[in-house]
């Protein structure tokens, strides 16, 4: 077995700034507007905008928002020219009409239980697209090396249909925007518990976009797609990649799956930009999904992607949020770590959660909140290429994906 240097050891924490290229004062970008919280399906819907508000407040209380290496830009409402890079004209017209008349459009997936009509349906959804396109544009035009759109990651939306809380697919539009503005190849890594079906479908026939989704097995979770053997259309074979993990997969095994697939494929693909979706509903306490990943493992995955972007995508990285329905205990911590990693200054997992934030949460929700930025999971990466267990269900899932895809890239499923 060839010896290989592990690409990332999550503990002890990576020294801040050491792994990334020297940060200029405006090297990293967070896209944020107060208006992003108007993406609100109403009382009782799991995708409550309080998750964004609490994340923003935690970032503020941690001091991250005033770091000199992190610039903050507002999110504009995307114009039709950008929306139509992915969505059909008829669909955009119908979303606008639903915003105006408040009536459901069942044939468009609008108004069903998952994605109900609300007052700002078009404008709030298009602002999320504007957020992620801003992140992509700033990176592509060289004003930021890395950028994060925490409101983004609406990966289920299809070109002509809303799905799974997602109206417009900001991630797909941002990738299409990059291609439209000269990027030759874009790699996309989706860490949400659910399959990134809308992004995959958008680029199913396009060999310029590598989509990698690591998710809970479709047999036990929405949207019921994303099997290892789904690898893209004949003209783009091997550029759709799916890892279908067993229910209950824990942080270290999940991180191992991310590394086992994303590292060799992104290395081989050599994209101009890495785009990633950090849905944190893979956390063990998320009410809508059944994986068992810790905030520590999610942080480790963000570091792994930062490292991949640095080594194989010219340092260009566009990160988004995504799903995440444990809105007090998980989302704010997970995405604060993400923003800090994007800013090139990863937070030590041993950082206490600021008392000011905890007090505000208690006022707002009546709930307690975590005391630390860590779940206490000392997740360590065991690289797959150093050996695997054919009887282990996670290793079998990883191997199924590597066997289905790696040969299309000239990679060996066992040793790469």
- Active-site residues, by number, are 156
Question: Least Å distance between CB 148 and Zn ion?
Answer: 18
Q: Coil, strand, or helix at residue 148?
A: strand
Q: What is the DSSP letter of 351?
A: P
Contact between 281 and Zn ion per CB under 5 A:
yes
Per DSSP, helices labelled H in 270-390 are: 295-312, 331-342, 355-365
- Looking at 15-23, 186-194, 209-217, 406-414, which segment touches Zn ion (CB under 5 A)? 186-194
**Token representation of residue 176:** 């299409």
Question: Least Å distance between CB 167 and Zn ion?
Answer: 15
**Which of 204, 222 has the CB closer to Zn ion?**
222
**Token representation of residue 359:** 């007090």
Q: Coil, strand, or helix at residue 214?
A: strand
- Looking at 15-23, 139-147, 190-198, 202-210, which segment touches Zn ion (CB under 5 A)? 190-198
Q: Interaction with Zn ion in 55-114: which residues (CB under 5 A)?
A: none
Contact between 192 and Zn ion per CB under 5 A:
yes
**Which of 252, 279 has the CB closer to Zn ion?**
279
Is the peptide bond preceding residue 12 cis, with omega within 30 degrees of 0? Answer: yes
Contact between 194 and Zn ion per CB under 5 A:
yes
Contact between 264 and Zn ion per CB under 5 A:
no
Contact between 278 and Zn ion per CB under 5 A:
no
Question: Least Å distance between CB 81 and Zn ion?
Answer: 29
Other Cβ atoms less than 10 A from the Cβ of 391: the count is: 7
**Which of 138, 281 has the CB closer to Zn ion?**
281
Instruction: Assess contact for 159 and 91: CB atoms under 8 A.
Output: yes
**Which of 40, 268 has the CB closer to Zn ion?**
40
Distance CA 338, CA 306 (A): 10
Query: Closest-CB residue for Zn ion?
Result: 323
Would you say the C-alpha torsion 41, 44, 48, 54 has a positive or negative sign? positive
Instruction: Assess contact for 372 and 349: CB atoms under 8 A.
Output: yes
Binding site for Zn ion (CB under 5 A): 192-194, 279, 281, 323
């Amino acid at each position: 077995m060839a010896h290989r240097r592990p690409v990332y050891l999550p503990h002890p924490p990576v020294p801040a700034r050491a792994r990334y290229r020297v940060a200029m004062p405006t090297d990293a970008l967070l896209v944020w507007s107060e208006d992003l919280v108007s993406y609100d399906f109403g009382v009782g819907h799991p995708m409550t905008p309080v998750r964004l508000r609490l994340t923003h407040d935690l970032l503020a209380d941690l001091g991250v928002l005033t770091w000199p290496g992190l610039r903050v830009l507002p999110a504009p409402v995307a114009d039709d020219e950008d929306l139509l890079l992915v969505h059909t004209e008829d669909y955009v017209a119908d979303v606008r009409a639903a915003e105006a008349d408040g009536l459901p459009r069942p044939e468009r997936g609008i108004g069903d239980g998952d994605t109900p009509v609300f007052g700002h349906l078009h404008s709030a959804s298009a602002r999320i697209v504007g957020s992620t396109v801003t992140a992509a544009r700033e990176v592509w035009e060289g004003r930021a090396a890395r950028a994060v759109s925490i409101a983004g990651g609406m990966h289920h939306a299809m070109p002509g249909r809303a799905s799974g809380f997602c109206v417009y697919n900001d991630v797909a539009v941002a990738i299409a925007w990059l291609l439209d503005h000269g990027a030759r190849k874009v790699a996309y890594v989706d860490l949400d518990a659910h399959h990134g079906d809308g992004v995959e479908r958008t680029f199913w026939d396009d060999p310029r976009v590598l989509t990698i989704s690591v998710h809970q097995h479709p047999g036990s979770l929405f949207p019921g797609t994303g099997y290892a053997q789904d690898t893209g259309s004949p003209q783009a074979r091997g550029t759709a990649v799916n890892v279908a993990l067993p229910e209950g997969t824990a942080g270290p095994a999940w991180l191992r799956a991310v590394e086992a697939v994303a590292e060799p494929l992104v290395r081989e693909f050599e994209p101009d930009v890495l785009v990633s979706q950090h849905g944190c509903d893979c956390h063990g306490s998320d009410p809508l999904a059944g994986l068992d990943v810790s905030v520590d493992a999610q942080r480790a995955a963000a570091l792994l992607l930062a490292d991949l972007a640095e080594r194989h995508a010219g340092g260009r990285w566009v990160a988004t949020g995504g799903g995440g329905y444990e809105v007090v205990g998980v989302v704010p911590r997970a995405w604060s770590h993400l923003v800090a990693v994007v800013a090139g200054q990863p937070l030590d997992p041993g950082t206490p959660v600021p008392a000011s934030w905890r007090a505000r949460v208690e006022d707002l929700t009546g709930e307690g909140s975590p005391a630390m930025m860590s779940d206490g999971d000392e997740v360590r990466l065991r690289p797959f290429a150093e050996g695997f267990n054919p009887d282990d269900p996670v290793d079998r899932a990883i191997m199924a994906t590597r066997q289905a895809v790696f040969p299309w890239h000239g990679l060996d499923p066992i040793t790469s």
